[in-house]
């Protein structure tokens, strides 16, 4: 995206949230957004913007839009947050412990978390264990983000 297209896109993002930009703010914002969105084309960013807007009550940051564009272009399934992953993990462990055989296809970040926890992963259940799980999950999530989003 060239500077003029990025400026147009920034205006669209802010207009989507009923925010008004003055020219001075606009030039500073465009300058800050170039490293995150400069490599993408305007039509792709405009196509992804409605999905991002529907998921956020507040004006998205440039890196949030970058993640949305990369998810779209590379067909990346966004990872669940730590709390959602904990719930998925508990459901999987309950099924395993009850002998149920449902097909589980957890997100790769959750799979990596379970591998990192090792053999003790099957016995996590208490509030303390949840905090341990979330800490490991957050570190695996950061690795996933660096690998897929360059952030």
Domain range summary for the chain, segments of one domain joined by +: 3-74, 82-149
The tokens for 118 are 């090792």
The string of pLDDT tens digits covering residues 29-72 is: 999 999 999 999 999 999 999 999 998 899 999 999 999 999 99
Report the chain (151 residues): mean pLDDT per 10 consecutive residues.
94 92 86 95 96 92 94 94 89 79 83 83 68 92 92 63
CA dist 121 to 23, 99, 108, 137, Å? 54, 17, 16, 12
Rounded mean pLDDT of the chain? 88
Contact 109, 144 (CB under 8 A): yes
């Amino acid at each position: 995206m060239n500077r003029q297209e990025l400026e147009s896109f920034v205006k669209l993002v802010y207009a989507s949230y009923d925010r008004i930009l003055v020219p001075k703010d606009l030039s500073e914002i465009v300058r800050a957004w170039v490293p995150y969105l400069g490599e993408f084309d305007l039509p792709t960013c405009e196509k992804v913007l409605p999905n991002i807007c529907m998921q956020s009550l507040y004006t998205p940051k440039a890196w949030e839009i970058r993640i949305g564009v990369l998810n779209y272009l590379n067909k990346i399934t966004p990872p669940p947050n730590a709390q959602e992953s904990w719930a998925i993990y508990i459901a999987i462990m309950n099924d395993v412990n009850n002998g149920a055989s449902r097909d589980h296809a957890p997100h790769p970040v959750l799979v990596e978390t379970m591998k990192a926890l090792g053999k003790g992963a099957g016995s996590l259940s208490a509030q303390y264990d949840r905090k341990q799980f979330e800490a490991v999950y957050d570190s695996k999530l950061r690795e996933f983000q660096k690998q897929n989003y360059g952030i």
